[in-house]
């Protein structure tokens, strides 16, 4: 299973997640499956609610997770 770093945009702000890719996800057109970083919950959401994490954001995100 392949995953891409994304932000889930919601009414409370943003949540970091991984967009799940690969066969067997069976999501309808215009929807994607993501796994939230906090708690690991897997959700099916509108693709318009997902923003890809840019290169600089990935470096900042990784640094912010380092203790």
pLDDT of residue 57: 52
Contact (CB, 8 A) for 33 and 25: yes
pLDDT of residue 14: 87
pLDDT of residue 24: 56
Q: Domain 2-65, what fold?
A: SH3 type barrels. (2.30.30)
pLDDT of residue 39: 94
In the predicted model, is pLDDT for residue 6 greater than 50?
yes
Convert the pLDDT of each residue in 25-61 to its tens digit.
Answer: 678 889 999 999 999 999 999 999 998 887 555 445 5
The count of other CB atoms within 10 Å of the CB of residue 35 is 16
Convert the pLDDT of each residue in 13-24 to its tens digit.
Answer: 889 999 998 665
C-alpha to C-alpha distance for 51 and 9, rounded to whole angstroms: 7
């Amino acid at each position: 299973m392949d995953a891409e770093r994304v932000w889930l945009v919601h009414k409370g702000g943003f949540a970091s997640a991984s967009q799940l890719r690969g066969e067997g996800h069976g999501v309808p057109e215009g929807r994607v499956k993501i796994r939230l970083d906090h708690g690991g919950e897997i959700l099916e959401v509108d693709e318009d609610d997902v923003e890809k994490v840019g290169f600089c954001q990935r470096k900042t995100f990784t640094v912010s997770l380092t203790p």
